[in-house]
Homo-oligomer: A and B are copies of this chain.
């Protein structure tokens, strides 16, 4: 997606160790018009998978997932990292490594909002090693829901996440694919 690629070229910042800073339009400050365009594009790409729910992980998945769900006209559920007192006693919980914090974090979904038979489209900001998305897959599977597609704003293809998700045999789409990042620049693939 050209608009996102241009934004990454202009404002994205490679910090070393595989980390791309996109805090000015996705992860801290958010560009709402760009997120809406991305949501619209995901809704177009996944129009045929008949998703009944979009699933993402707090925090930075919320903006693209919300916009996608808006255009697919389905609810979005974001997995929580801590269990608020409003959640029931028994929940689905799994763990995932946090890429930018270097620790394991919990991801928790209430059975109230993820049920057997749901058709789940996973949307997240990054597809890197795939570990966060795999955690969301486990939550959906624990609930007896079916994964019908996976979308990420930005794929870092050199981290191999797509390969880790292939066994699911569902469509996987990223809006922008980065093949390589180093001190000389950010290099996009197809």
Contacts and interface: CB of A to CB of B under 8 A. Distances in A.
Given A24-B113, A25-B75, A28-B78, 9 more contacts: A21-B86, A23-B110, A28-B87, A28-B113, A30-B66, A82-B101, A84-B101, A85-B101, A85-B102
Given A59-B62, A62-B59, A63-B62, A30 B69 contact: yes
Contacts of A29: 75-77, 112-113
Contact of A30 (B28, B75, B100): B75
A152 interface: no
A80 B23 CA distance: 11
A86 to B, nearest CB: 4
Nearest to A76: B30
Nearest to A109: B28
Interface residues of A, number: 42
Contact of A75 (B32, B62, B78): B32
A18 to B, nearest CB: 12
Contacts of A21: 86
A32 to B, nearest CB: 4
B70 A32 contact: yes
A35 interface: yes
A63 to B, nearest CB: 6
A50 interface: no
